């Protein structure tokens, strides 16, 4: 049987999303972004992408290859898009993250919010697991370290580079095993859908063989006691988050994270919660 991902909507309940994630490690969620939110995101991201270069400036070959010479990436989405806050606080996605991450941390934070735009000619990315960022705590029989969603801001097709996914690879006993071609599917989905996937499932960007850009937006969360990929408070300074609810401030690194059942904290200033330590209003 050909590899495939289940498809659902949050209208079917968070439990449905969680059970698909448990079985396959990834799930396509339709109608994730409302038409209005999608329009606002598109406008913000088109503005932010305008005039930007493709590819990485890194001197490191591996970083450049992984980034993709014909891939445009940028983060700092909270400073580039008001609409992004509505994605960050999406109740359904936060409920999924609560379920998968809170058993192993006092709070989690954003790992990164990142545009991943594939230009024509971008080859497929190397397959990987996002949890490899924290490889010492990634294990076949371990817990979830990170949870991600790839949002389609325009349709994702097999031809324009819809994300490759290996359903069930989160459950493999041997994480050094390579995926066979027959085990790989693609997250083909219309604009406004998102593919939620755990840090333990093998995936990677597809090849863009069309003449149009593939507009993907990634949002991920990581356990609060691990360093996120994005330098959160540097990327979204206090001015960008001061008017936001406390939950948003915490997701963006402007609050401490608790450990030991709430009796101690990490990521503090003068050993106080961040705004108190800094005397911020």
Q: Of residues 26, 113, 167, 216, which one binds ligand AKG by CB under 6 A? A: 216
The residue (of 147 and 240) whose beta carbon lies closer to ligand AKG is 147
The residue (of 14 and 127) whose beta carbon lies closer to ligand AKG is 127
CB 231 → ligand AKG: shortest distance, Å?
Answer: 17
| Residue 115 within binding range of ligand AKG, rule CB under 6 A | no
Bridge partners of 190, per DSSP, are none
| Residue 203 within binding range of ligand AKG, rule CB under 6 A | yes
Q: Of residues 125, 169, 244, 250, which one binds ligand AKG by CB under 6 A? A: 125
CB 68 → ligand AKG: shortest distance, Å?
Answer: 8
The residue (of 216 and 253) whose beta carbon lies closer to ligand AKG is 216
* Three-class HEC string of the chain: CCCCCEEEEHHHCHHHHHHHHHHHCEEEEECCCCHHHHHHHHHHHHHHHCCCCCCCCCCCHHHHHHHCCCEEEECCHHHHCCHHHHHHCCHHHHHHHHHHHHHHCCCEEEEEEEEEEECCCCCCCCCECHHHHHHHHCCCCCCCCEEEEEEECCCECCCCCCCEEECCHHHCCCCCCCCCHHHCEECCECCCCEEEEECCCEEECCCCCCCCCEEEEEEEEEECCCCCCCCHHHHCCHHHHCCCCHHHHHHCCCCCEEEHHHCEEECCECCECHHHHHCCC
Q: Of residues 204, 224, 228, 275, which one binds ligand AKG by CB under 6 A? A: 204
The residue (of 87 and 150) whose beta carbon lies closer to ligand AKG is 150
d(CA 43, CA 37): 10
Among 91-99, 177-185, 198-206, 238-246, which window interacts with ligand AKG (CB under 6 A)?
198-206
CB 261 → ligand AKG: shortest distance, Å?
Answer: 33
Q: How open is the CA angle 153-158-163, to the nearest 5 degrees? A: 60
Q: Of residues 205, 228, 253, 275, which one binds ligand AKG by CB under 6 A? A: 205
Among 2-10, 176-184, 199-207, 231-239, which window interacts with ligand AKG (CB under 6 A)?
199-207
Q: Of residues 8, 160, 163, 258, which one binds ligand AKG by CB under 6 A? A: 163
d(CA 183, CA 61): 28
CB 207 → ligand AKG: shortest distance, Å?
Answer: 11
| Residue 116 within binding range of ligand AKG, rule CB under 6 A | yes
User: Which residue's Cβ has the minimum distance to ligand AKG?
Assistant: 205
| Residue 150 within binding range of ligand AKG, rule CB under 6 A | yes
Site of interaction with ligand AKG (CB under 6 A): 116, 125, 150, 163, 203-205, 216
């Amino acid at each position: 049987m050909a590899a495939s991902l289940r498809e659902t909507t949050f209208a079917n309940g968070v439990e449905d999303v969680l059970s698909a994630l448990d079985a396959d490690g990834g799930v396509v969620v339709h109608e994730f972004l409302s038409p209005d939110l999608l329009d606002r995101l598109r406008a913000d991201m088109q503005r932010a992408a305008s005039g930007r270069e493709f590819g990485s400036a890194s001197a490191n070959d591996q970083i450049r290859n992984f980034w993709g010479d014909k891939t445009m990436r940028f983060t700092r989405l909270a400073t580039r898009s008001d609409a992004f806050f509505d994605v960050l606080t999406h109740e359904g996605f936060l409920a999924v993250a609560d379920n998968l991450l809170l058993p192993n941390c006092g709070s989690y934070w954003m790992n990164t919010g990142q545009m991943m735009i594939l230009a024509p000619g971008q080859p497929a990315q190397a397959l990987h697991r996002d949890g490899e960022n924290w490889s010492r705590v990634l294990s076949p029989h371990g817990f979830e370290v990170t949870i991600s969603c790839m949002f389609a801001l325009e349709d994702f097709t097999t031809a324009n580079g819809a994300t490759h996914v290996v359903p069930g690879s989160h459950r493999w006993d041997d994480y050094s095993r390579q995926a066979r071609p027959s085990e790989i599917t693609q997250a083909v989905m219309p604009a406004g859908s998102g593919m939620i996937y755990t840090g333990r499932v093998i995936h990677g960007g597809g090849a863009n063989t069309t003449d149009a850009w593939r507009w993907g937006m990634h949002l991920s969360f990581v356990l609060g006691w691990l360093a996120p990929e994005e330098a959160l408070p540097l990327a979204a300074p206090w001015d960008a988050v001061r008017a936001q609810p406390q939950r948003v401030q915490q997701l963006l690194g402007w609050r401490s994270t608790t450990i030991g059942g709430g009796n101690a904290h990490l990521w503090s200033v003068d050993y106080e919660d961040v705004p108190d330590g800094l005397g911020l209003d």
